[in-house]
Structures are given as C-alpha cells and as structure tokens.
C-alpha cells in the first residue's frame, strides 16, 4: 500500500519547509504539494524529486466548500485504483493543514469579503480537509494543523485572524483526544512571527517582512520534533511560550484593548 503525505499552502514559507522536512524524514512514497501557485510548486517538486518521495503537484484553491470537494474528488479518484490484492490503494501518513492567511487592521476598516475569505480558508477548509482525510488515516499517521501564537488571546487589529486560529487550536486539541485511541496523532503548531510572506499578504504590501521573524525551517523542525515527543501543541521560542502562558492570567478584553492601542500594524 502506498503511503502519502499532503501539505497545503506548500508553495512558500512554512508549507514549503514542511514539505522539505517531511519528505526527508518520514517513510512515504509520495508527497502531495497543494497550493495555488503552480510555478512555485513545480520548483519545489523539482527540488524534492531527489528525496525519494515522489512529488505530486495539485495547483488548487482550497477555500470553502468548493476547495474541500476539489481535494476530496482527487482522494476518491486515487482510492478507486484498488490493487489486485484488494488492500487500500493508499494511506495518508501525514497531513499538514498550513494553507491560510491573515489581515492587518481593525475589523471596521478591513474589507469584509477579505475577512470572510479568511474564515473560509483558515477554518472551513481546514476542518473539511481533516474530515475527508479521516478514512485514509491510520495508526502512526500525523496531522499538523497550523494555528498561531495569536490563538491564545483575542487581538485588536487582528480580530478575525486571531479568532480563526483560536478555533484551530481548540479543534485540533479536541480532535487529538478523539483520535488518540486510533493511534492518529494530531498537533496544533502555534508559531509567533516567522520570516515568510505572511506580513506582505496581511498588510497588502505595506510591510515586506515581520519584525524579528524566526527561520521557518527552525520552526518546522521544532514542530516535527515536538510531534515525535508526543506534544499536541508546538511553540518554539521561549518568548512565545511565555506569552502563551501569560495569556491565562490577563483578561481577554484587557489583552484585546492593549493590542488595539499599542500594536498597530501597517496596511494599505
């Protein structure tokens, strides 16, 4: 039976690093690279072709119900090619739900469609992809849902994004509890600022990079080490862990009000 890994948002940043590191460390036959930018996926596939796992490019928009159905159809088509032995055609060894984005600015001043699209991708698609993957997961499978340090408290100027990531953290923890008896390990990755394209997208080009962004390769490596150690939440930097811990003792309104006043983020 063929073993595959699926990485969404694989064209850049942490998604690209997850693809690189999973391809080199897990015993898989194929790695499915899912994102919208085909040219970047092709470049990554060429890089990974020497790793042993065969890269498969899926250039698709995963947003909303249509995105979920799109990947579900690909999974069903793949599973229909049943080997003569009668065993399943493939199993998902690793699923990384990394696709997502954020927006800087107040709720009032941020385009409504943009925020609803963010909910569609960060919440709806992630939830749906976990569900359609379940029939193909088994003992030893790994699911990584990329949340954020922002998931631990409501944030002014980042209201919808933080809310979507709070959902990812809560959902992932509950899913981990439900699937533990099946030997399926679910983790929420909760990074703070990482040196990716996130800031450029969130600010509509007003900010090229986040301040003090960590190397995505280091963040992903720590995440995979934490998964191997049985940790259901991965937070790399000591500063990030301190902030996550302190969020338990600060009122939610006070935290949101403080970030609204003091953490202005540029946006066009």
Delimit the domains of the chain by residue range. 2-262
Q: Does residue 109 register a pLDDT over 80?
A: yes
Q: Using pLDDT thresholds of 50, 70 and 90, give the confidence band for residue 34.
A: very high
Report, at the CATH architecture level, how domain 2-262 is classified. 3-Layer(aba) Sandwich (3.40)
**Mean pLDDT of all residues belonging to the chain:** 93
Query: In the prediction, which pLDDT does 84 show?
Result: 60
Least-confidence region, from 88-97, 196-205, 230-239: 196-205
Segment 242-259 mean pLDDT: 95
Q: Does residue 206 register a pLDDT over 80?
A: no
Query: In the prediction, which pLDDT does 83 show?
Result: 67
Query: In the prediction, which pLDDT does 140 show?
Result: 97
Query: In the prediction, which pLDDT does 50 show?
Result: 81
Residue bearing tokens 């990947």: 71
Query: In the prediction, which pLDDT does 244 show?
Result: 96
Query: In the prediction, which pLDDT does 63 show?
Result: 94
Query: In the prediction, which pLDDT does 88 show?
Result: 80
Reported as a single tens digit per residue, the pLDDT across 35-54 is 999 999 999 999 998 877 89
Distance between CA 233 and CA 223 in Å, rounded? Answer: 8
Least-confidence region, from 8-17, 129-138, 166-175, 197-206: 197-206
Query: In the prediction, which pLDDT does 149 show?
Result: 97
The token duo for 196 is 């990716």
Segment 4-26 mean pLDDT: 95
Distance between CA 142 and CA 180 in Å, rounded? Answer: 11
Q: Considering just the CA atoms, what is the radius of gyration of the chain in Å?
A: 18
Q: Which residues of 110-124 are buried (b: 16+ CB within 10 A; e: fewer)?
A: beeeebeebbbbbbb
Residue bearing tokens 């499915």: 32
Evaluate whether 188 touches 167 at the Cβ level (below 8 Å). Answer: no
Q: Does residue 264 register a pLDDT over 90?
A: no
Q: Does residue 268 register a pLDDT over 80?
A: no
Reported as a single tens digit per residue, the pLDDT across 65-82 is 999 999 999 999 998 876
pTM of the shown model: 0.94
Q: Using pLDDT thresholds of 50, 70 and 90, give the confidence band for residue 86.
A: low
The DSSP bridge partners found for residue 4 are 30, 92
């Amino acid at each position: 039976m063929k073993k595959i890994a699926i990485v969404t948002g694989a064209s850049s940043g942490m998604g690209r690093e997850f693809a690189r590191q999973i391809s080199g460390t897990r015993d898989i036959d194929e790695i499915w690279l899912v994102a919208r930018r085909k040219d970047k996926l092709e470049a990554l596939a060429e890089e990974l072709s020497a790793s042993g796992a065969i890269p498969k490019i899926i250039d698709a928009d995963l947003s909303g119900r249509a995105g979920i159905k799109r990947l579900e159809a690909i999974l069903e088509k793949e599973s229909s090619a049943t080997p003569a032995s009668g065993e399943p055609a493939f199993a998902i060894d690793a699923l990384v739900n990394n696709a997502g984005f954020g927006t800087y600015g107040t709720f009032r001043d941020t385009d409504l469609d943009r925020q609803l699209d963010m909910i569609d991708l960060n919440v709806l698609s992630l939830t749906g992809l976990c569900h359609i993957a379940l029939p193909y997961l088994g003992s030893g499978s790994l699911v990584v849902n990329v949340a954020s340090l922002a998931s631990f408290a409501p944030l002014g100027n980042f209201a919808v994004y933080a809310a979507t990531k709070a959902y990812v953290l809560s959902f992932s923890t509950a899913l981990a509890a439900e699937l533990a008896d099946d030997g399926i390990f679910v983790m929420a990755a909760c990074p703070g600022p990482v040196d990716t394209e996130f800031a450029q997208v969130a600010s509509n080009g007003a900010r090229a990079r986040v301040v003090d962004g960590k190397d995505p390769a280091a963040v992903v490596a720590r995440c995979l080490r934490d998964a191997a150690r049985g940790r259901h939440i991965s937070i790399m930097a000591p500063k990030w862990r301190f902030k996550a811990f302190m969020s338990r003792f600060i009122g939610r309104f006070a935290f949101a009000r403080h970030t609204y006043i003091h953490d202005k983020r540029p946006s066009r």
